[in-house]
Amino acid sequence: MGPGLVTPAPPAPNSLTKHRDNNHAPRDIFPDGIRTSGQIEPIYSLLKPYDDFPSRIEGPTVWTRDDYVNNPEKWTHRFTPQEVDELSKVIDDFIAGGLPLTGISKDSFPLPLLGERLSSVRSDLLNGKGFILFKGFPTDAWGLHKSAVGYMGLDLGEDSTQIDKTRIYRTNARQFFHCDDSDIVGLLCVARALEGGESDLVSSHAVYNALRTERPDVLKTLIEPIWYFDRKGETSDGQQEWIRTSVFYLEPKEGGRVYSKWDPYYVRSLTRFSDKGLIPPLSVAQFEAIKVLEEYSHRLALHMILEVGDIQFLSNAHVFHARTAYKDYAPPQPRRHLLKLWLATPESEGGWKLPFADSDEKKKGWCAG
């Protein structure tokens, strides 16, 4: 299908709201001076056409299931007794100090032993395979509050001062392959489900290579800035309820890497606006791209089961993740409970350079169950 059939007219000038600097939020509302960024439109002048993208991506960010399924030692780390002792003492000191969770920082939460390992892990998340599974986090012994403080204190993103809220996420339906709206996402398993709720990960760069070879038509559709994403009510004054964006981007610099942003749920939920003619409906080419992207992701994915006390961290820049449907235990047994952590890695701290106004800004995130 030709581009003219799937590319909508550019939005009216007044539909793009001026970006607010996250780092200078009013302190009477945001005590640390950092506000949540939310979903914002890309800088359209920085988006590149299909012909500018690489014919193939090489390097450690490209992997498939076969590279890791029989080698868990390459992607897991069990906390040592020394690391647990260090973390426990720092948590206790932090709680005794009476600081709020937004007060967690390198100064208030020093981890000289574990910090060296976390620095290496952070580099691998951003520039390597993009995922790790920590094991042996003592959630049962510590309880939920102490576990949450320790989890937030693991310094893999822009400190933990961007964590501002905890909520319980109860949807038990299957989640299709997607990436969260943060640079790094973590999951701490507090309680497992009776059945299911297991994790699948895939290198979006491996998916890109497969599409480039086998379905370049689909890849072209995914690169076009024709995809409307639902803001789900997370808007500020003057903002639309959606953004128009792409699924695959290039970093706007020499030799820029391929970045991915995708969540089919946030794309499919916009019929309440397309039915009214406010935005274009999904085209035949887009429906095909959604189907093929899921199929290729599933084909190349690594399956992972999180036990109680496991922490999974992954990059949202070049890894898609999914979750199987699950069934909970009957009461009074505990329901499935995972804490989700969203972390930011600004450009100035080693993060990717992205075509967004907040690419080098600190951001708040969420800790969600």
pLDDT of residue 25 exceeding 70, the answer is no
Whole-number Å distance between alpha carbons of 335 and 326: 11
Q: 126-137 burial, b for 16+ CB within 10 Å, e for fewer?
A: bbbbbbbbbebb
- Copy the structure tokens of residue 64: 């498939």
Q: Are 72 and 64 in contact (CB under 8 A)?
A: no
The pLDDT mean for the chain works out to 86
The dihedral sign for the CA sequence 156, 158, 159, 160? negative
pLDDT for position 169? 40
Lowest mean pLDDT among 20-24, 53-57, 276-280: 20-24
Lowest mean pLDDT among 22-26, 138-142, 159-163, 257-261: 159-163
- Copy the structure tokens of residue 32: 């640390």
78-85, Cβ contacts within 8 angstroms, sequence gap of 24 or more? 78/134, 78/135, 78/136, 79/134, 79/135, 79/136, 79/137, 82/113, 83/113, 83/114, 83/117, 84/136, 84/138
Q: Are 242 and 279 in contact (CB under 8 A)?
A: yes
Whole-number Å distance between alpha carbons of 302 and 103: 36
Q: Are 8 and 44 in contact (CB under 8 A)?
A: no
pLDDT band per the 50, 70, 90 thresholds, residue 168:
very low
pLDDT band per the 50, 70, 90 thresholds, residue 319:
very high
The contacts of residue 204 (CB under 8 Å, 6+ apart) are 179, 248, 258, 260, 262, 318, 319, 320
pLDDT band per the 50, 70, 90 thresholds, residue 276:
very high
Q: Are 270 and 290 in contact (CB under 8 A)?
A: no
pLDDT for position 181? 85
